Each structure stands twice: as C-alpha cells, then as structure tokens.
Structure 1
Amino acid sequence: MDSELAALATNHTWTLTPLSSCKFPIDCKWVYKIKHCADVSIERYKARLVAKGFTQTERLDYHETFSPTAKMITVHCLLAVAASQHWFIHQLDVHNAFLHGDLHEEIYMSPLLGLQRQGENLLCRLHKSLYGLKQASR
C-alpha cells in the first residue's frame, strides 16, 4: 500500500480541495492480490487503489472511454518482420501505467482515511487517471 500511495503522490494524482457544488464524489477502495512465482511460492503482495467508476455518470463525469489497441495480427506482422530482419526485440513494462493519463474532466473522489483532516471537509480532485474510472484506459 505504501508503494502505491508513493506512486500516486509522485505522479500528483490528486489535490485536496473543497467540493464543487455541482459535483458528487466517487468512492474508492483497496484491491489486494497475491502474485505467485511459477513454483506457486509467493512472489509479492500487491495493493492497488481503485476508484468505483461504476458510480460515474456519462456526460457529467466522463465523455469518452475509447482507447486505441493493437490487434494481434499487427503484433504478429511486426514480429515476423523483426525475425526476418534479425532485429533485437525488447520488452518494456511500465509500472502504474494508468496513473500517467491526464484527466480532462473535473472528478472528485472521497479521500482515504489517512488523508482526511479533522474538522475539514476536503475531497481529492483527480488530475491523473486511476484504475476503475470509466476513462482510465483512454
């Protein structure tokens, strides 16, 4: 959970602000997963903060959800060309890839328990995309 919160803070995912009068905050939750090695031993524990995007309203919280994806035939053709030309192929894994997408809509999220300040009614205004949002894959 600490590494996930550190990644969110590093990417400036949100700022704590008072709620706008015409917006409703969406909730969030932690999703936990255990990653296993090939021999079924535990590799690591993974925690991800996920927005409850199913509560978002179309045209109010999001406008577009389409994101371009590569077809498998395109990947096969690229690999065939690389093999015939003896090109070196390298794999890249981007950690927290969803957290790099900028949001164009004004979306508020209820703060986590650790972010709530006593006596203040602040919400997290999202600047970057979170897992679970309708427009996250965009």
Structure 2
Amino acid sequence: MLLLLNPQDVSHALSDPNWVNAMHEELENFERNHVWDLVEPPPNCQPIGTKWVFKNKQGENGMVVRNKARLKEGIDYEETFAPIARLEAISILLAFAASKGFRLQQMDVKSAFLNGFIEEEVYVRQPPGFESARFPDRVYKLKKAIYGPKQAPRAWYARLKSFLLKSGFLMGSADKTLFLLSRGGDTLIVQIYVDDIIFGGLSHALVASFAEQMSREFEMSLMGQLQFFLGLQIKQGP
C-alpha cells in the first residue's frame, strides 16, 4: 500500500515498514550500481553528511504511484548544473507530436544519478538509521554520484547524452534536452527531464527498439503512454 503522507524526518520513516522498504530499495540500488565502498576514513578526512529525503511520486489525478526514499549528500541540494527541459519546450513537443500523429511514451530511470561517474574523491557518512554494526566509524568512498551534490545531475546528463549520441541521435541546437534519431524514413524524438524521458514516433519498431536499448543500458521503469507530466494532463487520441 502506498502512503499519501511524506514522513517529516527519518525517525518517522523508520517507524513505518512501507518507508523502510523504500529506503532499503534505495540502498540496494546503491549496491547494485557499485556506488560506494565502506572504508576506513583517511587522515584529515571530513566526510559529508547524508540525509534521507522522502517524496511520493504522483500520476494522473494526483494518485500516488510510487514511494521514493532518496539518500542525498548534505550539501548543494538545489544546484543542478545540467540542462533542464522548460515547460514551454514540453508544450512545443506535445504540439509537434500531435501534428505528426506520434504516440508519446514515458519512461523513468530508476536511481538515475547513480549512473553518473565522478572524478573527485568524495567521502560521505553512513546513512542515518543504516549504520554498520561492525564498522560504525567507517565512511563511504563514492565511486559514482549520488543525489544532492552539483556533480550528480551533471554526471548523469553527461552519461545519458553520450549514450544517445553514440546511438545515432542528434542533439537539439537550442534545446540540449531534445534528441532526434532518423532511421530510414522514420523519426524518433526523445525529450529528457532529469530522470523522466518522453519518447515517440510513427514507427512502432523504432520506438520499441529504443525502449529495449535503454532498458539494457539503464534500469528503467516503462510507464506506457504519456498521460501526466510536469502538471500537464495529456490525452492521446487519433
């Protein structure tokens, strides 16, 4: 059962098995993506604090479709340093798709920022409520970006852009979050908004091939036909 209310803090979340499961899912994503190693803190190490952030993801009609628990670094929560699609761009995309008769689909990248590599040495404290009983004084050395720091969305966008360009897409000159692929006489259009991706075209084979490619490269949730995005309710018809 999905809860409508977000916990006020980690102590409230730890008292509810639904949110504990969401936190476990987040940490399992970290392990699966080889995000960090638990190590002895090096000399003069000043590890960054971590913080749990809880948010319900809503779908059409405001219904909760997913409980999200995200572990973030304790700094730079609002900085992105990566291109973000504007609402006007999404509106233009919808108008373009309607004029061409495209069916738009939506996918969500699970733990998108965990796919971005970082170059700096970064150490973080163990997550609140999930400290190691054997090694409570150890810290995590990051191998990949996690949520919060300015390099996280930048690293994720860089990896996704590189993957799309290598796959034959062309990036928009005015909108760096818009990508186009031409294959024969068919066109596939892709718009990214952090970890949400809208895509579509007339060729069912091209659309299905892209979804399969993305699922092989990243851990994806295919959400089907686009219905609700950034506060816009979308109805697709003939």
TM-score > 0.5, shorter chain as reference = yes
Q: Distance in 1 between matches of 2:55 and 2:28?
A: 18
Aligned position for 1:4 = 26
Q: Distance in 2 between matches of 1:39 and 1:137?
A: 29
Q: Distance in 1 between matches of 2:88 and 2:63?
A: 35
Q: Distance in 2 between matches of 1:107 and 1:84?
A: 48
Segments of 5+ residues of structure 2 without an aligned counterpart are 1-22, 155-238
Aligned position for 2:125 = 110
Q: Distance in 2 between matches of 1:72 and 1:38?
A: 18
More contact order relative to length (CA 8 Å, sep ≥ 6): 1
TM-score (norm 1): 0.72
SS in 2 for 1:132: coil
Residue 99 of structure 1: which of 89, 114, 126 is its match? 114
| Matched AA of 2:72 | V
Residues 1:27 and 2:43 aligned together: no
Aligned position for 2:37 = 15
Residue 138 of structure 2: which of 98, 114, 122 is its match? 122
Aligned position for 1:53 = 75
1:66: how far off? 1.7
Q: Distance in 2 between matches of 1:135 and 1:94?
A: 18
Residues 1:132 and 2:148 aligned together: yes
SS in 1 for 2:151: coil
Root mean square deviation, CA, Å: 3.0
The change in CA–CA distance for 1:87 and 1:135 in structure 2 (over 3 A counts) is same
Deviates most, 89-98 or 33-42: 33-42
The change in CA–CA distance for 1:71 and 1:38 in structure 2 (over 3 A counts) is closer
1:42: how far off? 7.0
Residue 69 of structure 1: which of 63, 69, 84 is its match? 84
Q: Deviations over 1:70-121 (max 9, x none)?
A: 2333323322221111111111111211221111211001123645364685
Identity over aligned pairs, percent: 37
TM-score (norm 2): 0.45
Q: Distance in 2 between matches of 1:100 and 1:48?
A: 15
Segments of 5+ residues of structure 1 without an aligned counterpart are 55-63
